[in-house]
Amino acid sequence: MTKRTLYELQAENVRKTYLFIVLFSLILFAVGYFFVWYFNWGITGIIFLAIFIVLYNWIAYEQSDKIALASVGAVPADPEKFYVLHNIVEEVALAAGVPKPKVYIMNEPQPNAFATGKDPKHASICVTTGLLQMMNREELQGVIAHEMSHIRNRDILLMTVVAIVAGLIILLRDVFLRSMWWGIGGERRRDKNDNLGIILLLIGLILSIIAPIVVLIIRSAISRQREYLADATGAYIVRDPYGLASALEKIGNYTRPMRTASSATAHMFISNPFGKVEYLFATHPPIEERIKRLKSLTI
């Protein structure tokens, strides 16, 4: 296997982000076009759809971190109250060679954390109150180093954009299925083009079901691959694989689901926020395997 440098991996993540935005735009246009036809909105609907896609992509790129933080109820961590946390974030950022990210707190008993932002200069790290209560300094340092690796490897933009995109597609699916249930747009289906209407209706129904699954597959593949890389990179940043390994062991033993868990943002966290056994579209590799790999590292 050809070895790639960190800069090559970073460039690959940037390319994947733009590619995912293009693919998502095509999926969104296909689903949106069906809505335009279904509700008989005509050319005006197509124009508004195109404007919406452009605006949404801009928001996903520029404001996705703020949306992700707000969706989980994260608030800025007070530097005096959370002095130790700020100190660890600062020292790990220095070791990683990136600017110190903004620090946020989630009032959540489940031990977990995530990083977000469009680049290292506009990054944020969020940890739960449960993580702070459960971890010692070495373990917390390992978790922060893992999240700092996502920032350093430029995973954060891709992971955050995927979260925003997944959320919208799942929302569109729900809107469509509910409109079908309520019979909205029935007049449009009873026009003279009954055969065409039935075909388009089936296409729209298939898209509404398959589109979220496609997003789940892409999201899972991206997340699982990058979690292993972030574990190893984090261990090298702090020159200690055992702190993160111990932290993951504690996190894995906590089985209660996160109160604010969402299928759209699950892949952003250091571990599965639902506290479930891993499944086909799992957003994270098994914790046992991650611990095994960390303990086998030679620093």
- DSSP symbols for 162-220: HHHHHHHHHHHHHHHHHHHHHTTTHHHHTSS-HHHHHHHHHHHHHHHHHHHHHHHHHHH
The average confidence (pLDDT) of the chain is 81
Question: Is there a catalytic annotation at residue 91?
Answer: no
- Residue tagged active-site, from 12, 90, 139, 147: 147
pLDDT of residue 207: 62
What tens digit of pLDDT does each residue of 195-246 get?
555 665 666 666 667 666 766 666 666 666 788 888 989 999 999 999 999 9
146 in a labelled binding site: yes
Of the candidate ranges 7-11, 73-77, 199-203, the one whose mean pLDDT is the lowest: 199-203
122 in a labelled binding site: no
Residue pair 156/117 in contact (Cβ under 8 Å)? The answer is yes
Residue pair 88/140 in contact (Cβ under 8 Å)? The answer is yes
pTM, two decimals, is: 0.77
What tens digit of pLDDT does each residue of 84-133 get?
999 999 999 999 999 999 999 999 999 999 999 888 999 999 999 999 99
